[in-house]
Amino acid sequence: MLNKAQIRYCLDTMGEMFPDAHCELNHSNPFELVVAVALSAQCTDVLVNKVTKDLFQKYKTPEDYISVPIEELENDIRSIGLFRNKAKNIQKLSRMLIEEYGKEVPRDRDELVKLPGVGRKTANVVVSVAYDVPAIAVDTHVERVSKRLGLCRWKDSVLDVEKTLMAKIPKGEWSVTHHRLIFFGRYHCKAQSPRCETCPLLDLCREGKKRMKRKEAN
């Protein structure tokens, strides 16, 4: 596990590598963000953005989503994985927003997770990006990078990773660190073929050192 000074170095280095790290899901309001993040489960942001380009032209409000037959909404998001389930959840959460939240997306994570298809990760993204509430959403990139670098333990659950990162990173940096970890994992420390040879964090990275040793042995 990395010490405080090493963690600081990692955060600063990622900040230099990805100074413009941000949420890559296109949206223009909190409701669109909820829909986009719900669609993004087990799917790339690039594909979601392709689909929402037309989707957000057609559907502007929660009422719009529940005013069409489920089959029509399914057809509009058909190119996205699990589209039937996601269409069902989008209609359910739209109805819930109308009936229980005055058509407003809640600012509170505990309220957000009550919405169908919205888990803890989704809720953290929404409160952080839409409402500037400090949060760390742990997706596959954040989890992978945190474990490879030794910010967390290999056996940690997603919730453990979130709690550990919150404890080790200053609260004011939670949201920007979440985006930088994602960019670092998406564009540098990839699941397959991470760029260990050119990584400025190689000296601190237990996983990177192992991978480089294996390469040298071959």
> Which residues does the annotation mark as catalytic?
121, 139
Q: What is the DSSP secondary-structure string of 3-27?
A: -HHHHHHHHHHHHHH-TT----S--
What is the Rg, in whole angstroms, of the alpha carbon atoms belonging to the chain? 19
Who's near 206: CB < 8 A, 6+ residues apart? Answer: 148, 149, 150
**Residue 75, Ramachandran bin (φ over 0: left; ψ between -120 and 50: alpha; else beta):** alpha
Distance CA 70, CA 67 (A): 9
